[in-house]
Structure 1
Amino acid sequence: MIDRRLKVLAALARHGTVTAAAEVCRMTPSAASHQIQALARELDTALIEPVGRGVRLTPAARTLLAHGEILTAQWEQARADLAALRTGGVGGTLRFCAFSTAAAAVVPQALAELRRDHPTLRLHLRETEPARSFDLLAADDSDIAVVVATPSIPPATDVAFTQQALYDEPLDMLVGPDHPLAGRDGVGLAEFASDPWVGSNPGRAYFQLVALACASAGFAPDVAHYADEWDTGAALVARGFGVALVPRLAELPYRHDTRRIPITTAPVPTRRVITAVRAGSGTQPTVAAGLAAVRARAAALSPAVVPSGVED
């Protein structure tokens, strides 16, 4: 019902290049450029203009996107109103996307509850990075995202999405058995300023999380090794190659001999986990049931995490 060329234009606004917009829209850069040019011709107004080696949106394009966001939200609300008129309540397909820890500790358990309460509901889960989750929502390839709030995701003020806080999760220090602080019951993050660190690759949400946490403690971590999987990171830490920050809910492989120590001295690093849906879709019975199941699962995780009902 909504011109799909607006989705390409919105992706360009979020990512800044035609190539990146084409990637998230699953088309070639030439096809993405052609769609934007065709829309511009149809509207008889320029939508992009060259700047250096790239392009930027014109004021007309940003005005068009503002109207597109309103239209999309109204369409989602129309779908919700139509669903409310149908008999049978929750049904159809519900698609989740989530970052690694929530994809293991939160969403599958919520899916099990949904399957029990609504046996005919078709359920799907995709593990993704937070920024990618918003691309999937915008493209209508996912219905509910469970993500870590990082600088890479759209701001809470972005009217294209409805974001809501789910829980706050503390981070613990992970050290090897021979580390001088391995026997402690609590530590301060600054005590590890001179240690080598094991971190994820730059550009990933976890990399941003660790950098921000260490900066708040007054130092920049000396990242000696990069590992995106907990298995690899725990293996390096167990053998004394560095220390790492691990989320409270992260399940670590038992075959690696590590010590997990709570951070008890301020600043205590935490990460905010949120849910996100397309604006206007949250009142659809199926989406609302999915959000309720995820929130119930988050409440059941207390006191490991701090559930939240505060809307961002």
Structure 2
Amino acid sequence: MIDLRRLHVLRAVDHYGTVTAAARALHFTPSAASQQIRQLARDLGVDLLEPQGRGVRLTPAAQSLLTHADAIQAHWERAELDLRADHTDPAGLLRTSGFPVAISVLLAPMAAHLRERHPKLCVRIHEAEVTESFDLLFEGEIDLAVVEATPHNPPLSDARFDQQPLLDDPFDLVVPDTHRLAGRTHVDLRDAAREDWIAPVPNSPCRPHVLSACGAAGFTPDVVHHAMDWNVMAHLVANGLGVALIPRLAHLTPHLPISRVRCTADPHRKLLTCTRSGGHERPAVAAALRELRALAPTAVA
């Protein structure tokens, strides 16, 4: 009989990449986490970890086992749903997460609508960037996340998660009101190729979108300022310090002397909803997904 607690430790090593990181997430010591995996290996009669440099990696047997482990987790989600089959009205606690813009434009109004329509449902919102949201889902700390699609996300084929498209968020070129491009309805980014640029900080998930949009237009932007917050970028633009690509969902400080100009090439980022596999069938999660899909079409108008 497989000990599911030990199996979860192995899943955590696969998710976080190292025994140490998995132990930290599970509130174990590294030695205790290693002991759990060694005992699981003895129970099954196979090696689950093998040396790789100064660390370890999962063996092919471990990878095969994880395929079944992910299926077990999905079946467990559905089993919990079956146990509550007579209680189809959304109720209880719904835990969600998202990055700041997603919370402001999508999760906050979603929570307000659900409170009105389902008084027995309590929604909790946790601000988290994309990687943390996947970690929280994996750990069972949240039920639903709104994330941005990035190259570092788990692939859509990852059996642990159910990722579904929600909306495309276009990037607008933001320039000072006095800028030569301010009066246009649309702009080709090549017209801003020689400008000073303001861009997201290097570790931001939006930075690759900005650089790839400029690259597709045939130039590398001369980035002179970096910022984490879209409103900080807008204030830098308002002071004539450069131009920026800012997603349309970002609500900027009112009355700044700036203009948002749509781009002819339609650069955009994709927003996804994400649950654990099988989790979207829960009445509370299903109700939240319906609200998010209803809000999405008007969010980027």
TM-score normalised by structure 1 residue count: 0.87
Matches within 5 A, 1:163-174: 163-174=163-174
1:50 corresponds to: 51
Matches within 5 A, 1:217-228: 217-228=217-228
Would the aligned equivalents of 1:129 and 1:204 in 2 still touch at CA under 8 Å?
no
Distance 1:223 1:113, change over 3 A: same
* Counterpart AA for 1:238: A
2:272 corresponds to: 274
Q: Matches of 1:198 and 1:165 in 2, distance apart?
A: 28
Would the aligned equivalents of 1:83 and 1:89 in 2 still touch at CA under 8 Å?
no
Q: Matches of 1:202 and 1:24 in 2, distance apart?
A: 26
1:159 corresponds to: 159
* Counterpart AA for 1:48: L
1:72 corresponds to: 73
* TM-superposed deviation, 1:77: 0.8
Would the aligned equivalents of 2:188 and 2:263 in 1 still touch at CA under 8 Å?
yes
1:253 corresponds to: 253
Q: Matches of 2:104 and 2:288 in 1, distance apart?
A: 16
* Counterpart AA for 1:160: R
* TM-superposed deviation, 1:85: 2.4
Would the aligned equivalents of 1:197 and 1:225 in 2 still touch at CA under 8 Å?
yes
* TM-superposed deviation, 1:155: 1.0
Q: Matches of 1:164 and 1:125 in 2, distance apart?
A: 19
Would the aligned equivalents of 1:84 and 1:285 in 2 still touch at CA under 8 Å?
no
Distance 1:34 1:144, change over 3 A: same
> How many pairs align?
300
Q: Matches of 1:25 and 1:204 in 2, distance apart?
A: 27
* TM-superposed deviation, 1:4: 4.0
Flag structure 2 segments of 5+ consecutive residues without an equivalent: none
Q: Matches of 2:118 and 2:286 in 1, distance apart?
A: 13
Would the aligned equivalents of 2:3 and 2:40 in 1 still touch at CA under 8 Å?
no
TM-score normalised by structure 2 residue count: 0.90
Q: Matches of 1:257 and 1:28 in 2, distance apart?
A: 54
Would the aligned equivalents of 1:7 and 1:139 in 2 still touch at CA under 8 Å?
no
* Counterpart AA for 1:143: D
- Percent of residue pairs bearing the same amino acid type: 46
Distance 1:193 1:78, change over 3 A: same
Distance 1:178 1:120, change over 3 A: same
Q: Matches of 1:4 and 1:227 in 2, distance apart?
A: 42
The farther-off stretch of 11-20 and 128-137 is 11-20
1:288 paired to 2:286: yes
CA RMSD of aligned residues (A): 2.3
* Counterpart AA for 2:209: L
Would the aligned equivalents of 2:105 and 2:299 in 1 still touch at CA under 8 Å?
no
